[in-house]
Structure 1
Amino acid sequence: MPKAALILTQGFADWEYALIAGTGGPFYGIDVQFFTPQTGSLRSQGGLVTNVDQDLNQCRQWQPNSVVVVGGAIWADSQAPEIADFLNDCRTDGASIGGICGGTLALARAGLLDTLPHTSNSRDFLIENAGNYAGASFYQDRPSAVSADGIITAPGTAPVSFTAAIFESVGIAPELISQFTTMLAAEHH
């Protein structure tokens, strides 16, 4: 069974992880677990209060196939947790690493976007909020997720394509991913 670790922080964005957690396990057989840099009570942007009792050390011991940094305003704040070593260690261990919206800042700070195609909310968002970001020439201004060599990025407005890319990274069959994206696009046709 593939394993996906969702990294939550204070103020996490409710819509950015929901499709991974809500469909990954029940419909696609992914073991989805939640982790946080500091365990305890978290409040989402939408006001959901949850308790996360697994930290990043436990995440590494669990050995996920994919690590997903969920966005939230904290990533652009001076209070952002420092998780660069954790992300690089997980990548070394063979996990794909995903970041959506503000979560892309954690990937940029870890140097994971320096040499690969990627996207985010904007190039300026990365430049202004991730001090050591050196990947501006690889930035792609796209409304959907970008996946390159196990690094998956998306703007906050792209939870569907981001989820599809995470599913692909853990080995979900292409025909199932196509069904997933078609189903979620049906209301727009």
Structure 2
Amino acid sequence: MATQSPFSLLADTLGKLAENLKAPAWLVDEVQHRLVLFLNHVLMQEPEAQARLARQQGRVVRLQWRDFSMQMAATPAGLCELAPAATPDLLLTVTDASPLDLARSALRGDRPGVRIEGDVEFAAEVNWLVDHVRWDAEEDLSRLVGDAPAHALAGFGRGAAQALRAFVSKLPGQGR
């Protein structure tokens, strides 16, 4: 008799649970607004990213994963804004349907599989942003608690993340 891994059982259970749960519209709207605020915060720390995004002003990207979707447009200032009613120029669809598999690949530092449809030039700019723009959490933390504590907390966070990646890479069914 073949035994099933507890992790695959957990993935199946979470998948079935996620299929039956729908977030309330107000929560989805609030999360989208907070995500745009966060993205703009990160973009404002990268002048090159803002300049590249400003050249794409008015273009709309639609991000899709399962039933969740979000549309954002590039502003003249090189930032993002929600554009729910606009026609998208670029559609990015995450192909992996399992939340657990997405989390596992994120913990390994891998990108999820994405199907890209639409404007090739805009897709190249979005890819550049994904490759080159990073949130400097340590810098933001240092504004709150000072440089030395922020450096210590960031070092602890990096160590914890590295240990978690090592653990995930040793789980059954992992190719690493």
Q: TM-score, normalized by length of structure 2?
A: 0.28
Identify which of structures 1 and 2 has the higher relative contact order when contacts are C-alpha pairs closer than 8 Å and 6+ apart: 1
Higher helix share: 2
